[in-house]
Amino acid sequence: MLISQSFDSVSKQEKDNPYYLIIMLIIFVIIFYFTVLLPQQKKVKEYKKLIRSVSKGDEILTKGGIIGRVKKISDTDYITISVNNDNEILIKRSFIVAILPRGTINSI
């Protein structure tokens, strides 16, 4: 009985405090930042680094599942990839998912 009375008095005091909601909101914003926003910012930064590091001759995987070798990089956001000896595809740089290890195309 004493515990429930003391719990009621503490929670009542917290609810009466005008800053209680502001403090709780700040705590939730901080938790949200560290659990959602910060990891997402790290992923975006790593992806931008990957996109900038693409060079001629790299073997890449696109979002559409196409594997090819970078043949030409234009000044705009487009890259020409060679899928095989006869076919070339022009893609946007942002469609690259991964840079594959050299020799991946030959081993497939």
Q: Kindly report, residue by residue over 6-42, the tens digit of the pLDDT.
A: 555 556 666 667 788 899 999 999 999 999 999 999 9
Buried b (16+ CB within 10 A) or exposed e, 56-73: eebbbbbeeeeebbbeee
82 with 94, same domain: the answer is yes
Tell me which of 17 and 84 has the higher pLDDT.
84
101 with 59, same domain: the answer is yes
Structural domain range at position 36:
2-51
Torsion of CA 89, 93, 99, 105, to 10 degrees: 0
**% residues pLDDT > 70 (the chain):** 85
68 with 92, same domain: the answer is yes
- 37 — phi, psi (to 5°)? -70, -45
44 with 74, same domain: the answer is no
40 with 65, same domain: the answer is no
Reported pTM: 0.69
CATH code for position 80: 2.30.30
Give the span between the Cα atoms of 58 and 76, in whole angstroms.
Answer: 18
12 with 33, same domain: the answer is yes
Confidence tier at 104 by pLDDT (50, 70, 90): confident
Which of these, 75, 85, 81, lies nearest to 100 by C-alpha position?
81
- pLDDT tens sequence across 41-72: 999 999 999 999 999 999 999 999 999 999 99
94 with 79, same domain: the answer is yes
Which of these, 86, 99, 93, lies nearest to 72 by C-alpha position?
93
38 with 6, same domain: the answer is yes
42 with 65, same domain: the answer is no
Sign of the four-CA dihedral 88, 89, 91, 93:
negative
Domains held by the chain: number: 2
What pLDDT score does 7 carry? 55
What pLDDT score does 9 carry? 56
